[in-house]
Amino acid sequence: MMILGIETSCDETSASLIKTNINKTKVQLISNVIASSLSLHAKTGGIIPEVAAREQVKYILPVIQEAIKDLKNPQEEIDAIAVTTGPGLIGSLLVGVETARTFAYVWGKPIYSVNHLFGHIYANFISQNSKSDDEIKFPAIALIVSGGHTDLVLIKNHKITKWLGGTRDDAAGEALDKTGRILGLPYPAGPQIEKLAEKIKTDKYKFPRPLINSKDFDFSFSGLKTAVLRKVQASGQLDNETISNICNSLQEAVFDVLIKKTLAASHKYNVKSILLGGGVAANQTLRDRFKSSIKISKSSIKLFVPPKSLCTDNAAMIAAAGYYNYEPMIWQEISANPEAYFD
């Protein structure tokens, strides 16, 4: 089965083709095209929804055209369409949803209405044709860490999932981006913070670890930017070494909480796998720290992380989530829902 995925929830316009094979536990990636309006938003230090939506309109058809360019007869070869219906910015979402509905109508194909957050989880179900292509065993805990979300989800199987907790205020990526702004770093700051922190070996500033010992699976990262702001104000002139130390201590604080809570959930529910997803999961320090923490805990839990290119927003993960997690619908049944969350 061949699925065309479409993702337009925020500032990336993406179209992908995946192939499913019932004998395999992962889907195969055929194409994954992503156009981003990030450089425009970097100029304004954040996303302006109106600008993002206009860019989606500009890119959507060329991106789809590029994704399906190697098919001789797309209408015959594509079996279904999967599209992000939420959460996201309404103007951006509508571009993808209406385009997907149009293709489904004209081609006479079924359509999967996909929650973007499940998409991030299902980036782990795209074959990498490598050693890490091990089968993902259930139950699993998924940690979604992106610019808009920080969520822990228990996955009993593809159809039965349970949201365990999430952020009460800023998401992990949002905390990095907002702190980056205080430090004068370009938007989005996550990758830059990672680079600056690389050279630093000690946690000099020991920022607070919010909710690290709470018994629930909630997160709260909004206080970190205040802690950083105080440090910046106390430092007077910021030199490069101080900035790098702040970046490293910030990462340490955020990652300590993410890892401790994810492992606590994994042990509580006795899971076999941990799945990371979302833009922050592209961070190598976070990946390495997860790996070593699992090793230290002497558990047999297996860690899965998507390739970095599939951590940030893309349509391949939407197509994979559609296939595994949703029932196909007819085009009249789907609509954009910017407030979508976990059921």
* Residue 282 near which of ligand KG4, Zn ion, none (CB within 5-8 Å, type-dependent): ligand KG4
Task: Give backbone dihedrals phi and psi of 33, rounded to 5 degrees, phi first.
Answer: -110, 130
* Residue 189 near which of ligand KG4, Zn ion, none (CB within 5-8 Å, type-dependent): ligand KG4
Q: Tell me how far, at minimum, the Cβ of 86 lies from ligand KG4, in Å.
A: 12
> Judged by CB, which is closer to ligand KG4: 252, or 313?
313
For tokens 């996909």, name the residue: 114
* Residue 191 near which of ligand KG4, Zn ion, none (CB within 5-8 Å, type-dependent): ligand KG4
Q: Tell me how far, at minimum, the Cβ of 11 lies from ligand KG4, in Å.
A: 8
Q: Is residue 247 a contact partner of residue 295, using CB atoms and an 8 Å limit?
A: no
* Residue 177 near which of ligand KG4, Zn ion, none (CB within 5-8 Å, type-dependent): ligand KG4
Rounded CA-CA distance 266/262 in Å is: 6
Q: Tell me how far, at minimum, the Cβ of 196 lies from ligand KG4, in Å.
A: 11
Rounded CA-CA distance 201/219 in Å is: 26
Positive or negative: CA dihedral 143, 11, 122, 97: positive
Q: Is residue 333 a contact partner of residue 327, using CB atoms and an 8 Å limit?
A: no
- List interacting residues with ligand KG4 (CB under 6 A): 10, 146-148, 173, 176-177, 188-191, 194, 278-280, 282-283, 312-313
Which of the residues 302 through 321 are near Zn ion (CB under 5 A)? 313
- Give, rounded to a whole angstrom, the gap between the first and last alpha carbons of the chain: 28
> Judged by CB, which is closer to ligand KG4: 188, or 322?
188
Rounded CA-CA distance 119/86 in Å is: 10
> Judged by CB, which is closer to Zn ion: 119, or 328?
119
Rounded CA-CA distance 13/158 in Å is: 26
Interface with Zn ion (CB under 5 A), residue from 56, 146, 244, 262: 146
